[in-house]
Amino acid sequence: GEDVEQSLFLSVREGDSSVINCTYTDSSSTYLYWYKQEPGAGLQLLTYIFSNMDMKQDQRLTVLLNKKDKHLSLRIADTQTGDSAIYFCAEKARSGGSYIPTFGRGTSLIVHP
Amino acid sequence: NAGVTQTPKFQVLKTGQSMTLQCAQDMNHNSMYWYRQDPGMGLRLIYYSASEGTTDKGEVPNGYNVSRLNKREFSLRLESAAPSQTSVYFCASIHPRGRPVGDNYGYTFGSGTRLTVV
């Protein structure tokens, strides 16, 4: 199957910027997503980017997409302790007539005061 | 509130017991999915249902069965639970067109079922 790769851990100081990186393999992916999972909770959609876009900004979040290199990143500006969570990168790949979401293993973001 | 509802939230089973995890969505989504989440493994797809009346295996289907009861409901059954099935199970669904439409975009997840098999 297709793979989505991301680093497992990221540690930053409060107030700094965080950058979480992801690589994917399916060039047919039309949408790429970032999800946030807080401890003991389900996954919440943070943001998404369409494959014909290079960048998307939403308040403190900036998503960059390099389609040639199949590289996706999520930048969180002015990181707060409440941003501590696991962040999942996901792609939506088509398999026949179905959409099969593939998730990375998740990056644990730890924010130090 | 619109969303994906999973029951139960917690369950402890003895090895060999059976149980069904329930999932229902009220967003008129066609496609529904069952995942398991294990430490360091991320989310792994167990089964999915592209539309009412169809189901397909995902990455880790062994030991599970599913039923797409109607458009709203997609259940996951463990016929004979094993300790290796101790995990957190998530149900998810997505808009029929498979793309963001207004506020109803991406995959919507339930809050999860934490299952322990002893």
- Who wins on pLDDT, B42 or B23? B23
The answer to whether the CB of B42 falls within 8 A of the CB of B59 is no
A86 forms beta bridges with A37, A108
DSSP designation for B72: S
In a mutagenesis test of the A interface, which of B43, B48, B60, B88 is the best target, namely the one with the most A β-carbons within 10 Å? B43
pLDDT category at B85 given cuts 50, 70, 90 is very high
Per-residue pLDDT reduced to its tens digit, A30-50: 788 999 999 888 898 898 888
Contact residues, chain B to chain A, C-beta under 8 Å: 31, 33, 35, 40-43, 45, 48, 50, 56, 58-59, 90, 92, 94, 98-100, 105-112
Per-residue pLDDT reduced to its tens digit, A50-100: 888 899 998 999 999 998 899 999 999 999 999 999 999 998 776 666 777
pLDDT category at A1 given cuts 50, 70, 90 is very low
Contact residues, chain A to chain B, C-beta under 8 Å: 1, 8, 30-31, 33, 35, 41-45, 48, 88, 90, 92, 97-106
pLDDT of B99 higher than 60: no
- Cα nearest neighbour of B6 on chain A: A42
Show residues of chain A in contact with B107, CB under 8 Å: 33, 35, 43, 45, 90, 101
Beta-sheet strands, E only, within A1-113? 4-6, 9-13, 18-24, 31-37, 43-50, 55-58, 61-66, 71-76, 85-95, 98-103, 107-112
Dist CA A7 CA A10 (whole Å) = 8
Dist CA B118 CA B6 (whole Å) = 22
Show residues of chain B in contact with A101, CB under 8 Å: 33, 45, 92, 94, 107
